Amino acid sequence: MDSSNDGKVEMFFLPWIVQRGHMIPAIDTARVFAAHGAKVTIITTPGYAQLFQKSIERDQSLGHEISFHTFKLPTAEFGLPEGCENLLAGSLGMMEKLCLAIQKLQQPIEQFIRERRPDCIVSDMFHPWTADVGARLAVPRFLLYVTGLFSLCCEESLRRYTPQDKVNSEAESFALPGLPDDNIVFTKSKIPYWFTKKGTGYGQFADNIIESELKSYGIIINSFYDLEPAYAEYFKNEMGRKLWLVGPVCLFNNAAEEKAERGEKNSIDEGTILKWLDSKQPKSVIYVSFGSQSSMVPEQFLELAHALEASGCPFIWVARDMSEYGQDEKEKKEGSENRGKKLPEGFEDRVTKSGQGTCNTGGFLTHSGWNSVIEGIGAGVPMITWPLIADQFFNESLVVDVLKIGIRVGNEKWSSYIWEPKMSVTREKVEAAVKWLMGGGSDEVEEMRRRVKELSEKAKKAANPGGSSNADIIALINELKSRRPICANNL
């Protein structure tokens, strides 16, 4: 253990590079531990190291011991373009090839761990093999989840009690047994397919993740105790996991440039957006974003555009290059001249000239990815939820049913990573939800704003010195220090 002489705990972080929603919180978590005195090495690819280099150099200038150790993906071996390291660089059809290329890095990464012997490995859930590596090398492995506790507890209920197997249709409702709240209700159409079609596809890999979780020394979660206290207790006591809550890690980024460096470059510069926001009334703007992964079919994209314009509400809509939204092979060949046809005729000119949109936030229309939810809570903004994939319907239930800081837009179907070629939500539903949340005046909306503002203050308190997440970070580092003589005897 290289850092044993100076007393610093040495931590290796192994993020999942394929998806930004996994990579960004992993980098933030690594930086938080480095800021608390750990010696941190982030194992990743050259492209990601370059993307986050400015943030790491800024930390290094503050005296934090944090750095990258990179391994180049064997892209050519699997027919991938040079530099393709994530799904943003290509189509979803590349997922299998990317995963195979990443598997090729397992042996060199294990060798690197063997040579350096860190105090622990902090690994994304998509690297379940690191649990066995940790066991072989007597190095504690922590599983880093980039979701919240509520969704993990919901999944545990589905595994333990299989209520989804006791209904007769996709639309029939069922309660999730055993949870702290007895009002958590789902349908089969809203849960991931691997809970209804067991032993196939991703379901087998999901089982590997749970096996690796049980083999791990503990679990690190980007959440905070006061956000979901009953589920923290359920996770520790009912599920028997050792748990450290270290979030919201996004709050570690205080400077504007730090926040801007965490994602893709925008087509509109930050100054223009802030100037536009300053021209609006407080809490009058709704922020619209569906994350970096899901693709929206053109018909749904068009319906959303019509709804936002019809609402009359000022908005900031973070829309990826429209060529990504349902673009087929014919459209790809036709190139950029076909791209603008995804929006209503004259849409951009009208909303820009009227000052209604640019594509002091008072609402967030979100796909309910965990990063978006926890950042929305950190900002104290109520949400309109439009879940699509992965854990997002569970996150919606937390926001709407448990925390009561949002409303559903009305999507009823879990849709994997590619939207089905039909509309799931009409413009009327979207317009009504936006008007209800942003119209102001109702006691229900004001109470929602009060609750999310209170949670925002609790989030900041948790992340600051003396807070619960801050204490968990310090406790984990101290526990790793206390294990050193034990680890040394096992080598």
Task: Compute the distance between CA of residue 70 and CA of residue 158 in angstroms, rounded to an integer.
Answer: 38
Lowest-pLDDT range, 44-48, 311-315, 359-363, 416-420? Answer: 416-420
Q: Which domain holds residue 324?
A: 280-440
pLDDT of residue 340: 39
In sequence order, the 6+-apart residues with CB closer than 8 A to the CB of 319 are 301, 325, 359
- Looking at the structure, do residues 89 and 234 belong to the same domain, yes or no? yes
In a domain, 469, yes or no: yes
Catalytic residue, candidates 28, 119, 124, 226: 124
**3-state class percentages of the chain: helix first, strand second, coil last, to nearest 5:** 50, 10, 35
Q: What is the pLDDT of residues 25-80, one digit of tens each?
A: 999 999 999 999 999 999 999 888 988 999 999 999 999 999 999 998 887 787 77
CATH number at residue 360: 3.40.50.2000
Measured at the alpha carbon of residue 467, what is the angle toward residues 463 and 473, in degrees to the nearest 5? 70
- Looking at the structure, do residues 303 and 427 belong to the same domain, yes or no? yes
pLDDT over 70 percentage in the chain: 80
> pLDDT: is 35 or 483 the higher one?
35
- Looking at the structure, do residues 202 and 343 belong to the same domain, yes or no? no
In a domain, 446, yes or no: no
> pLDDT: is 405 or 353 the higher one?
405
In a domain, 456, yes or no: no
- Looking at the structure, do residues 466 and 419 belong to the same domain, yes or no? no
Q: What is the pLDDT of residues 283-318, one digit of tens each?
A: 889 999 887 766 677 788 888 989 999 998 888 888
Catalytic residue, candidates 22, 64, 127, 367: 22
- Looking at the structure, do residues 473 and 376 belong to the same domain, yes or no? no
* Burial call 371-401: b when 16+ CB within 10 Å, e when fewer: bbbbbbbbbbbbbbbbbbbbbbbbbbbbbbe
- Looking at the structure, do residues 35 and 94 belong to the same domain, yes or no? yes
- Looking at the structure, do residues 413 and 481 belong to the same domain, yes or no? no
Report in angstroms the alpha-carbon separations of 280 from 177, 287, 311, 351: 46, 13, 16, 14
- Looking at the structure, do residues 63 and 208 belong to the same domain, yes or no? yes
Instruction: Mark whether 22 is an active-site residue.
Output: yes
And the tokens for 422?
């039909």
In a domain, 351, yes or no: yes
Enter the pTM of the model.
0.88
pLDDT band at 341; cut points 50, 70, 90: very low
- Looking at the structure, do residues 310 and 221 belong to the same domain, yes or no? no
Report in angstroms the alpha-carbon separations of 246 from 60, 123, 150, 375, 468: 21, 15, 15, 14, 8
Lowest-pLDDT range, 130-144, 330-344, 448-462? Answer: 330-344
**Residue 21 burial (CB count, 10 A):** 19
In a domain, 261, yes or no: no
Q: Residue 305 has what DSSP assignment?
A: H
- Looking at the structure, do residues 170 and 294 belong to the same domain, yes or no? no
